[in-house]
Amino acid sequence: MTDDPTLLAPSDQAPATATATGEPLLVAEQLTKHFPIMGGFPFRRQVGAVQAVDGIDLTVHAGESFGLVGESGCGKSTTGRLLTRLLEPTGGTISYRGRDITRAGRKELAPIRSEIQMIFQDPYSSLNPRQTVGTIIGGPMEINNVNPPGGREKRVRELLEIVGLNPEHYNRFPHEFSGGQRQRIGVARALGLEPRLIVADEPVSALDVSIQAQVINLLQELQRELGIAFLFIAHDLAVVRHFSQRLAVMYLGRIVEVGDRQSIYQRPRHPYTHALLSAVPEAVVPEDSEAESGRIRLTGDVPSPIDPPSGCRFRTRCWKAQEKCAVELPPLVQLPGNDSGHLTACHFPEAAPAGETASPAASA
Ligand SMILES: Nc1ncnc2c1ncn2[C@@H]1O[C@H](COP(=O)(O)OP(=O)(O)OP(=O)(O)O)[C@@H](O)[C@H]1O
Ligand code: SF4
Ligand SMILES: [Mg+2]
């Protein structure tokens, strides 16, 4: 990445000093997406629904990196697409900088479309193979009426430099680049619109392991230096550990635990978070865990989101499940012994490590 600070300061970028304590930027409340399943003959009608996202609350603050983690199919991409308004929610609300955008139409969304950008998992299919790099990065600027000082071509060349590519490669096509370089092109395209928030949906999982760290480092530098907020989607905790100050753990369409990185990694209270942390080789698993050993191997498949378990959705795989778990949905609340903002949805949570001072339980 470039050392020239002027290249990193587009005109009305969010302030570089913004941190996790910044203003709420994007707020989702009870956000829900149920995909209808159609069937029947001769009259097609709805016979069921895939409960991909089922009533989640989350807030991304200006300038922070927020991680969203969970196994395949738990609803991460659907959440990302709902938040960027690429999908219509079935229920709940989304507000952006204090404005309700849940049902905002094309026209209303136009001014903020460029402020919320998405980086996709697959750097191969997300770039048009017939367009040059200059068009791929400059095109969205034109559509969104972004007019950088000195012109778009100059800005595209600057952006190439910012993401660690050669500005001379302006006229090249995507196939002339490696996977990691293509993902950098995707990042430059998003940056061209001077976003305040980037939703990065597993941006490195399609890349070679050796390249993953380089792309993550680039994103981390951009987040810090440009003050861009990130919603970073990943299926394991290892990637998010180095990137996100706060994170939420999703299971089968719901958030089961959310909090500051340190609090979640050192004091996971939800059995599922604990199990995910066990799978992270370098993770610290609490010594006085109620699990038999420090390491927990998750067994069984994730149930279908078409017919999820009653009560706690994790109960079919949870080693602590009791009757209450089948009948009562555990609310996402702050448990005694946890930091404020660390919320857990479990009737029988893991013990807080010894020596922790209890803080009063509060509802989310
Ligand atoms: N357009 C759709 N129509 C019907 N079902 C869908 C649609 N998109 C996603 N789903 C279903 O919704 C659930 C959540 O999918 P989603 O892609 O959000 O999960 P994910 O956490 O991103 O998974 P992965 O880690 O594999 O990317 C899955 O069961 C998926 O099959
Ligand atoms: S509520 Fe019950 S089933 Fe769900 S995670 Fe907690 S102990 Fe396990
Ligand atoms: Mg996904």
Q: Give me the residues paired with residue 33 across strands.
A: 53
pLDDT above 90 (res 159): yes
Share of the chain above pLDDT 70, in %: 87
- All residues at 6 or more sequence positions from 64 whose CB lies less than 8 Å from its CB, including other chains: 18, 19, 20, 22, 229, 230, 245, 246
**Cis peptide bond prior to 336, omega within 30° of 0:** no
- Res. 356 pLDDT band, cuts 50 70 90: low
Reading the block at residue 329, the tokens are 């949905």
Q: Per-residue pLDDT for 63 more than 90?
A: yes
pLDDT of residue 279: 73
User: Ligand 1: does its nearest atom lie under 6 Å from the Cβ of 121?
Assistant: no
Ligand 3 centroid, distance to 286 Cα (angstroms): 29
Identify the three-state secondary structure at position 48: strand
Q: Which range is least confidently modeled, 13-27, 60-74, 98-112, 204-218?
A: 13-27
Q: Which tokens in the block code for residue 141? A: 């600027």
Whole-angstrom Cα distance, residue 125 to residue 179?
Answer: 11
The tokens for 202 are 């597993």
Residue percentage of the chain with pLDDT more than 90: 65
* Confidence category of residue 158, pLDDT binned at 50, 70, 90: very high
| Mean pLDDT computed over 17-29 | 74
Higher pLDDT, residue 205 or 66: 66
Helices and strands (H, E) in the chain, number of each type:
10, 13
At 72-115, the pLDDT tens digits run 999 999 999 999 999 999 999 999 999 999 999 988 888 888 89
| CB under 5 Å of ion ligand 3: residues | 77
The tally of CA atoms less than 13 A away on the side-chain side of residue 190 is 30
pLDDT digits (tens, 9 = 90+) for 236-253: 888 888 889 999 999 999
Cβ-proximal residues to 150 (8 Å cutoff; 6+ apart), any chain: none
Could you tell me which residue, 157 or 12, shows the higher pLDDT?
157
In the prediction, which pLDDT does 10 show? 35
| Sheet containing 45-61: order of strands | 45-61, 24-39, 91-96, 99-100
Total count of residues recorded for the chain: 364
> What is the whole-number distance in angstroms between the Cα of residue 51 and the centre of ligand 1?
9
* Ligand 1 pocket residue status of 173, Cβ below 6 Å: no
* Average pLDDT in the chain: 86
pLDDT computed for residue 354 by the predictor: 66
Pick from 31, 35, 119, 313 the residue to mutate for probing ligand 1's pocket: most ligand atoms within 8 Å of its CB: 35
Per-residue pLDDT at 6 exceeds 80 = no
Residue 69 structure tokens: 């983690």
Pocket test for ligand 1, best of 31, 32, 47, 50 (most atoms within 8 A of CB): 50
Angle formed at CA 238 by CA 349 and CA 126, multiple of 5 degrees: 120
Q: Point out which residues pair with 116 in neighbouring strands.
A: 197
- Across the range 43-57, mean pLDDT stands at 93
What is the pLDDT, as a whole number, of residue 106?
87
Reference 181, options 208, 155, 199, 202; nearest CA is 208
User: How far is the C-alpha of 135 from the C-alpha of 7, rounded, in Å?
Assistant: 20
More confident residue, 359 or 132: 132
- Least-confidence region, from 131-135, 223-227, 350-354: 350-354
What 170-173 contacts at long range (C-beta under 8 Å, 24+ apart), as own/partner pairs, is: 170/132, 170/133, 170/134, 171/132, 171/133, 171/134, 172/132, 172/133, 173/129, 173/130, 173/131, 173/132, 173/133
* Mean pLDDT on 64-69: 96
**pLDDT tens for residues 288-313?**
444 445 677 787 888 999 999 999 99
| 357 pLDDT tier (thresholds 50, 70, 90) | very low
Identify the band that residue 318 occupies on the pLDDT scale cut at 50, 70 and 90. Answer: very high
DSSP letters, 98-125, are TEE-TT--HHHHHHHHTTEEEE-S-TTT
Lowest-pLDDT choice from 27-31, 97-101, 242-246, 254-258: 242-246
Q: Residue whose CA is closest, atom 3 of ligand 2?
A: 315
Helix (H, G, I), strand (E, B) or coil at 54: strand
Q: How far, in Å, from the CA of 76 to the mean position of ligand 3?
A: 5
pLDDT computed for residue 337 by the predictor: 84
> Would residue 55 be called left, alpha or beta, if left means φ above 0 and alpha means ψ between -120 and 50 degrees?
left
